[in-house]
A = this chain, B = another copy of it.
Amino acid sequence: MTPSPAVKAALSSQAIETPSWAYGNSGTRFKVFAQEGVPRTPFEKLDDAARVHAHTGVAPTVALHIPWDRVDDYAALSDHARERGLRLGAINSNVFQEDDYKLGSVTHPDPAVRRKALAHLLECVDIMDATGSADLKLWFSDGTNYPGQDDIRTRQDRLAEALAAVYERLGEGQRMLLEYKFFEPAFYMTDVPDWGTAYAHCLKLGPKAQVVVDTGHHAPGTNIEFIVATLLREGKLGGFDFNSRFYADDDLMVGAADPFQLFRIMYEVVRGGGLTPDVAFMLDQCHNIEPKIPAIIRSVMNVQEATAKALSVDAEALAAAQAEGDVLGANEVLMDAYHTDVRPLLRELRAEWGLDPEPMAAYRRSGWAERIVAERQGGQQAGWGA
């Protein structure tokens, strides 16, 4: 493979956002296994994120989660990021970890709880003003566990009302990214279960409301790249929460469970003109048993490799075979790009950027893992809920 300059340019401009919470501890409902050296503050999370960017060159922004990353001085946090070559990314709201939210947040039957949840969402926009973040990412754990528990339709009305209030508050250059999720933690019904629901709400809200696709939030067998293609066609794809899954929302490293699916998704992104800053490429993962920083480096590389393969598809040959109804020929063009080993190309690119061609090895040699274990003693480790 001798990549065109356009391919190299596209890969050079790629930006993958890493999530602050993926540097902290996480787990399943059965157990959170704590790891040594885990950050204790938002600042330390940025220190770790800076290592990912330093080794990969394509992870320049970091998503924050409120309240987990709430600080007194967001300017100081931005400065801390900038000094490490990073910028603060999307603000993620959290209306699922307080006792009041047992039966929902913006869709709760009690108006007082709904008001509280809305206030939190609006606070997140305030934080966006302070951090300069462009995107507010909204995921709601809202839903019900039992048929009849609450009224499906009334909850949609409540949801629409809250979204409208947040939309109204958005400033110039700010967007709302609405996430959908098939199930969990609600088991009978979630209030935004699929892309159709998110799309319908975003459509009514206006152009600043966009849908975000979390690759782990679908029913078994769902063709995710179809959704990506459709949302791009509708001008409603705001971004991705990347991760991978075998069964449910496993939140494994993106590309680990089904690398071919990731390639197909990235192909539709490329084909649909989505490889632009208007689509946010974010990771949203949980590293329950593997060390966090190298897992994130690996994940960034996986997205990068899938992108490189997607960019390598011979578009002309593909279109020609498709037009002729040549089923095997068209499939073969796509598969040829997939089967190509793009790792040599990416090593070459990293060398051009002045980076070590092997990010994983370079990180291991850097001593960072040992250093954080030694230095981050005492304090409260970051984690889901911390």
Comparing A73-81, A85-93, A129-137, A186-194, the segment that makes contact with chain B is: A186-194
Which chain B residues lie closer than 8 Å to A233 at the CB level? 153, 156-157
Contact of A189 among B182, B218, B223 (CB under 8 A): B223
Q: From residue A309, how far is it (CB to closest CB) to chain B in Å?
A: 10
A374 contacts partner chain B, Cβ-Cβ < 8 Å:
no
In whole angstroms, how far apart are the Cα atoms of A295 and B146 in the complex? 12
Please state if A184 and B247 are interface contacts (CB–CB under 8 Å): yes
Which chain B residues lie closer than 8 Å to A318 at the CB level? 148
Contact of A328 among B26, B294, B323, B340 (CB under 8 A): B294
Which chain B residues lie closer than 8 Å to A279 at the CB level? none
Please state if B248 and A183 are interface contacts (CB–CB under 8 Å): yes
Comparing A14-22, A30-38, A61-69, A170-178, the segment that makes contact with chain B is: A30-38
A226 contacts partner chain B, Cβ-Cβ < 8 Å:
yes
In whole angstroms, how far apart are the Cα atoms of A73 and B195 in the complex? 45
Taking CB atoms and an 8 Å cut-off, the chain A residues in 288-346 that contact chain B are: 288-291, 294-295, 298, 305, 318-319, 322-325, 327-328, 330-335, 338-341, 343
Q: From residue A385, how far is it (CB to closest CB) to chain B in Å?
A: 7
Please state if A109 and B323 are interface contacts (CB–CB under 8 Å): yes
In whole angstroms, how far apart are the Cα atoms of A333 and B298 in the complex? 13
In whole angstroms, how far apart are the Cα atoms of A333 and B150 in the complex? 11
Which chain B residues lie closer than 8 Å to A103 at the CB level? 289, 325, 327
Q: From residue A149, how far is it (CB to closest CB) to chain B in Å?
A: 5
Which chain B residues lie closer than 8 Å to A183 at the CB level? 221, 246-248
In whole angstroms, how far apart are the Cα atoms of A258 and B262 in the complex? 11
Copies in the complex: 4
Given A28-B185, A29-B27, A156–B229 Cβ distance below 8 Å?
yes
> Closest chain B residue to A336 by CB distance?
B343
Taking CB atoms and an 8 Å cut-off, the chain A residues in 212-242 that contact chain B are: 218-223, 225-227, 229-230, 232-234
Q: From residue A169, how far is it (CB to closest CB) to chain B in Å?
A: 25
Q: From residue A26, how far is it (CB to closest CB) to chain B in Å?
A: 8
> Closest chain B residue to A305 by CB distance?
B339
Given A184-B248, A288-B145, A153–B319 Cβ distance below 8 Å?
no
Please state if A148 and B334 are interface contacts (CB–CB under 8 Å): yes
Which chain B residues lie closer than 8 Å to A230 at the CB level? 152-153, 156, 196-197, 200
Which chain B residues lie closer than 8 Å to A268 at the CB level? 152-153
Contact of A247 among B248, B271, B334 (CB under 8 A): B248
Please state if A146 and B185 are interface contacts (CB–CB under 8 Å): no
Contact of A97 among B30, B220, B264, B298 (CB under 8 A): B30
Please state if B148 and A325 are interface contacts (CB–CB under 8 Å): no
A115 contacts partner chain B, Cβ-Cβ < 8 Å:
no
A352 contacts partner chain B, Cβ-Cβ < 8 Å:
no
> Closest chain B residue to A290 by CB distance?
B327
> Closest chain B residue to A257 by CB distance?
B188
Q: From residue A346, how far is it (CB to closest CB) to chain B in Å?
A: 11
**Sample of 15 A–B contacts (CB below 8 Å):** A31-B385, A33-B102, A110-B325, A146-B290, A149-B322, A149-B327, A153-B268, A183-B247, A187-B252, A188-B223, A189-B223, A194-B194, A196-B199, A259-B338, A339-B341
Known A149-B330, A298-B328; 19 more pairs at CB < 8 Å:
A27-B29, A27-B185, A28-B29, A30-B97, A31-B141, A31-B385, A33-B102, A147-B256, A148-B332, A151-B271, A151-B319, A153-B229, A156-B229, A183-B221, A187-B247, A193-B226, A194-B194, A219-B220, A259-B260
